[in-house]
Structure 1
Amino acid sequence: MAKVLIADEVHPDCPSRLKAAGLEVVERPNISGEELLASIGEFDALIVRSRTKVTADIIRQARRLKVIGRVGVGLDTIDVKAAEGAGIKVINTPQMSTVAVAELVMGMMLNLLRGVHKANESMKKGLWEKKRFHGSELNGKTLGIVGFGRIGKAVAERSKAFGMGIIVYDVVVDDATLARMGAKRAQSLEALLASSDVVTLHVPLLPETVRMINDKSISLMKDGSYLINASRGEVVDTAALLRALKAGKLAGAALDVYEHEPPAEPHEIELVSLPNVVATPHIGAQTHEAQVTGAIAIAENIINAFKPL
């Protein structure tokens, strides 16, 4: 019987399906890196989310491991190269969070342009500051989408319904999809930044995307524009973003991901405290629907991995 370790919190549908398929399941959602290193040799499969880091050292100790399942999209917390070298299959669930993240991004856009978070805070203080809160509409604004995968396309579909113009930058862009959405292709990241009222990032964490938003790229953005990052924290140089917000170059920013989670450096802490920053603690996939979808998908993939040929 294959033995599966669930090292992070997942929806109960995941362990229940694994057990129903005859697999032995051990749930240790708070396991430390040291504990994982000491015990990984007992398991044939490992299921993680973003908290657990699966390092090369852990993989070297995984004598029985056949598969690592990541409930979520990004694989930057797993040493995929080391796993492949050891013959361990790495799987994820990219479909689970598409709608959840896209809807969060829409909420962030509306919040930024209408100042909902500020008005809400004001009301809770017993104030009535109607004249203070003059916002802007999404209708007629240009949205620049950097990264046109599942989530980027889902954001485009929803933004179109709000009457926004859409421009897209990605290495590979599907012309048919662009035509269907009435979107335009930007010839470069720089061109997109210069043309957008709101820029939203939906790229994977790769060497070429690390700090792709920095002092130089921000300088190309429209004065008074907005930046949203719900992809990976390291994609944005947050010290540069802080400077741009304090200088008034950008009108606001919305962040769901950070270089350190939780924010640890003084400039990160100052950044999330700014009144024109909407900050959430990496909740992009934190909907009931997304968690159920991810739990079922990873369980079925693990079960299939151990089915006899």
Structure 2
Amino acid sequence: MYKILLTDGLEENGQVILRANALVDNNPTITADDLLKVVGEYDALIVRGRTKVTPAVFEAGKKLKVVGRAGVGVDNIDLNAAKAHGVTVVNSPTATTLAVAELAMALMLSIVRDIPRGDAGMKAGKWLKKEMEGTELWHKKLGVIGFGRIGEATGKRAAAFDMEILGYDPLIPAAEIVKRGGKPVSFEELLAKSDIITMHLPLTPESKGMLNAAAFAKMKDGVRIVCAARGGVIDEEALLAALESGKVAAAGLDVFATEPPGLTALVSHPHVVCSPHIGAQTAEAQVRAADDIANEVLAALDGKALRWKVA
């Protein structure tokens, strides 16, 4: 019988599926050192974002056949090491789409209406009505960088606010972006025309620091930035400088280059709304992710066709 290790927890519905087919150990607080000591006993490893699946883990995992990521991003898994050791990597990319798209909209609304400031003022006994003139989403241009599942879902929700959706994605043909509800544009055109920019792409060598000082310089004055993708796709020092100069009016951030980031100048900036990487953290999304990754990992162990093979 297969042995599967869960290192970041998994919703009970996913564990039920796994236990019907394998021996499952759930150790959501395991340390990196302890993981190296025990991983050699297991055929499969299922993680979320906390566990770093390093080359050393693959080296120690002599029986390891598959690593499953309950969620989308796999930047915490060394894909080159996985390939070198013949280990399959799978994820559950569709499970959290709606949750992340909804959070992107929540951040967007928060920064155009300064909702957290109003709430904080009320709780401090202040009535800040005259100081809180915001702006509307109506007829604003939303630049969506990354027009995959989450970018498309965010665009559809923004379109319900009568926003114009500009889409940039170097991996998706223009005709497909149109089919998904966006107007295909170049990266430079998106920067120049967008009133709000939202990021929906993985962290790769190509996307790292994609929004940097040069990119901010090409944007409209008073642009607003939303990122619920991956920390690192924005140069945080450049964003802070753009906020200080007024080039960027506000930013809504769910992800950071270092997590947790601590009380940095960016986190504490009065025109930044932050959340602690909760894009996928809804009850419904976690149930879907657990179901998807449990079945995908078992399919990989059984040598069956895979829906979401990453490596």
Please indicate the TM-score interval, normalised by the length of the shorter structure: over 0.9
Corresponding residue of 1:216: 214
Percent identity, aligned pairs only, is 46
| Correspondence list, 1:13-24, <5 A | 13-21=13-21, 23-24=22-23
CA contact (8 A) 1:70 1:298 kept: yes
Query: What does the per-residue CA deviation read over 1:48-70, in whole Å, with 9 as the maximum and x for residues that have no partner?
Result: 00000000011011111111000
Corresponding residue of 2:6: 6
- Specify the code of the residue in structure 1 equivalent to 2:90: I
Runs (5+) with no aligned partner, structure 2:
305-311
Corresponding residue of 1:186: 185
Distance in 2, matches of 1:244 and 1:308, equals 50
- Specify the code of the residue in structure 1 equivalent to 2:50: R
Normalised by the length of structure 2, the TM-score is 0.94
Corresponding residue of 1:225: 223
More helix by share: 1
CA contact (8 A) 1:160 1:181 kept: no
Shift of 1:181: 5.7
CA contact (8 A) 1:205 1:232 kept: yes
Number of aligned positions between the proteins:
304
| Correspondence list, 1:90-129, <5 A | 90-129=89-128
SS of 2:38's equivalent in the other structure is helix
Corresponding residue of 1:297: 292
Q: Does 1:89 align with 2:88?
A: yes
Distance in 2, matches of 1:239 and 1:210, equals 13
Distance in 2, matches of 1:176 and 1:75, equals 28
Shift of 1:183: 2.8
Distance in 1, matches of 2:153 and 2:300, equals 30
Query: What does the per-residue CA deviation read over 1:67-86, in whole Å, with 9 as the maximum and x for residues that have no partner?
Result: 10000111110011111121
SS of 2:197's equivalent in the other structure is strand
Q: Quote the RMSD (CA, aligned, Å).
A: 1.4
- Specify the code of the residue in structure 1 equivalent to 2:236: T
Normalised by the length of structure 1, the TM-score is 0.95
- Specify the code of the residue in structure 2 equivalent to 1:190: E
- Specify the code of the residue in structure 2 equivalent to 1:118: R
- Specify the code of the residue in structure 2 equivalent to 1:286: Q
- Specify the code of the residue in structure 1 equivalent to 2:206: E
Shift of 1:173: 3.2
Corresponding residue of 1:287: 282
Distance in 2, matches of 1:172 and 1:74, equals 17
Query: What does the per-residue CA deviation read over 1:140-199, in whole Å, with 9 as the maximum and x for residues that have no partner?
Result: 100000011000000111111100011111113344554456531112x12111100000
Shift of 1:302: 2.0
SS of 2:267's equivalent in the other structure is helix
